[in-house]
Structure 1
């Protein structure tokens, strides 16, 4: 059988080595299904894994890539048949399980979501973990009663994968969205996604007072650190912010004052270990509520052989939107 092209991380005494490798069938490990990977993508977490900026890779050797979409080619599972189109997001991929940076993936059927009928495998990776996380954030806001008539919703890290998808989703659902970005040259692009206002991230990224003038009914934050602390300090009474990223940092220099005096809520959003019913709901809502006519403007094609180089670039904020990597061309 032909070699299987993959991007593999190996942990050595000298550190983490990331290299393109040709694998054999025996290198794919165990699982009750096998998938022909058609597309994968690059996320902020993939950049962290590749650079070892945070020790995400916990098993060695390991195929990297927290996302993939493809077609089942062999199945010993009652959940899937050969020919089913599936998507993988997280569930330990790139941490303790092989991920999507491979032409073929053998894995557990319990980790896969069957793609909604109208979403192609390429569109699934234009959405990816970032878009799926944005949808999880929207679902949490809705559960806390944040409706479009409550007021402005802030999206931080607006030029990134979570941010761009969150803007598009919220705008289509009728929310008035303000986008925060460090790249003001993207203002026209962010407004084309549905943002009504674009502000510079410097308004939020420095230490601020624990209580500030109210500005936001809710927020989707992928930055953390001072940005998240300032967002909390600026939430309206009963305001809600979802925290799903750490682009600025893992720290949070906040106080209890917004919680005690304005009854605000800080909600964590985890995409890695979200239960399967929630994943299926999120992908169903993405099919219904995401304006997929905008996916082309939200994404670009990244050659597989450029993935390793792109890892540090996404951490440096040099990549806008979603990178789609075709694995079909590797065969």
Structure 2
């Protein structure tokens, strides 16, 4: 029996992809076969397909997230028909991923779907939701509470940003959302932002001594000059959790925010974090961190055939919210 998949080919001087029908023998090693119900689209997926540098093999089935039901398992901890989630690790970069009707995954990369989430909701969250949850958990572990002041979220219309805005708001935080999309102000207010600021107001071209303290914390999926500015405007003891680099990988700063205000720059790794961290975050995503935007108009559902247009729009900064792939 064959299964439909989106397959990326990386050759010496070119990248191309196509939808193919593949036999089971195509899949790599793994002790769990999963009938994939949904995958999702993340910035990393778009980068894998359009840039190619993160694709570790060719041919490759991209898709760093997937949710579905167990078809067959050699691990007694997982039973046929059980609903499961698999995200990150090398899925969709070095191991065939979620853009296929069937996936074969090592069981150590798989977690049971928590009570309180459907398979579709799990992929609306996906790596973006996991990253937002890990960011909030780490900020809380470093002392952040709602009574300390506002939390700023740059890149707020993206996957991580929009979910973080909604989650933080639901927890009682005052959330300042940053975006370069003037037409999305009302959307950000609707999902929980207390205030929306232009991304130009969250950037700094060169490091300086700490400026006026504004934020108790920050969820930062963008990096670059925005992160430089946030480090210089955090309150004493404040923390920023950084998970992405859509605004660039270079960050200019000095030692002053760290030694004069004791701020914390926290790295978020949703790719190789421990299974305990991952499982704890997913259980919170099914309970107190569960977003209230699952029916929001910013949730888009597409097919494999429509993926290429989504990738182009995402890399051009023209997408809002989350896009899921129905398999």
Bin of the TM-score, shorter chain as denominator length: over 0.9
Alignment partner, residue 41 of structure 2: 42
Q: How far off its partner does 1:290 sit?
A: 3.3
Alignment partner, residue 319 of structure 1: 319
State whether residues 166 and 291 of structure 2, in contact with CA within 8 Å, keep that contact through their aligned partners in structure 1.
no
CA distance in 2, matches of 1:52, 1:311: 11
TM-score between the two structures when normalised by the length of structure 1: 0.95
CA distance in 1, matches of 2:97, 2:307: 14
CA distance in 2, matches of 1:25, 1:74: 12
Q: Per-residue CA shift, 1:146-202, capped at 9, x if unaligned?
A: 011111000110000001110111111111110001112111111111110000001
State whether residues 73 and 79 of structure 2, in contact with CA within 8 Å, keep that contact through their aligned partners in structure 1.
yes
Alignment partner, residue 32 of structure 1: 31
1:164 aligns with 2:143: no
Stretches of structure 1 that go unaligned for 5 or more consecutive residues are: none
TM-score between the two structures when normalised by the length of structure 2: 0.97
Q: How far off its partner does 1:7 sit?
A: 1.1
CA distance in 1, matches of 2:325, 2:256: 45
Alignment partner, residue 111 of structure 2: 113
Q: Secondary structure at the match of 2:194?
A: strand
CA distance in 1, matches of 2:304, 2:59: 19
- Counting only pairs closer than 5 Å after superposition, residues 1-331 of structure 1 correspond to structure 2 as 1=1, 3-52=2-51, 55-210=53-208, 211-297=210-296, 298-327=298-327
- Bigger drift between 67-76 and 202-211 goes to 202-211
Q: Per-residue CA shift, 1:105-145, capped at 9, x if unaligned?
A: 01111101111122110000111110110000000001001
CA distance in 2, matches of 1:201, 1:176: 18
Q: How far off its partner does 1:291 sit?
A: 4.4
Q: Secondary structure at the match of 1:62?
A: coil
CA distance in 2, matches of 1:149, 1:192: 22
Q: 1:191 to 1:291 in 2, by over 3 A?
A: farther
Q: Secondary structure at the match of 2:203?
A: coil
Which structure features the higher share of helix residues?
1
Stretches of structure 2 that go unaligned for 5 or more consecutive residues are: none
Task: Give the alignment's Cα RMSD to 1 decimal.
Answer: 1.2
List structure 1 segments (4+ residues) > 6 angstroms apart after TM superposition: none
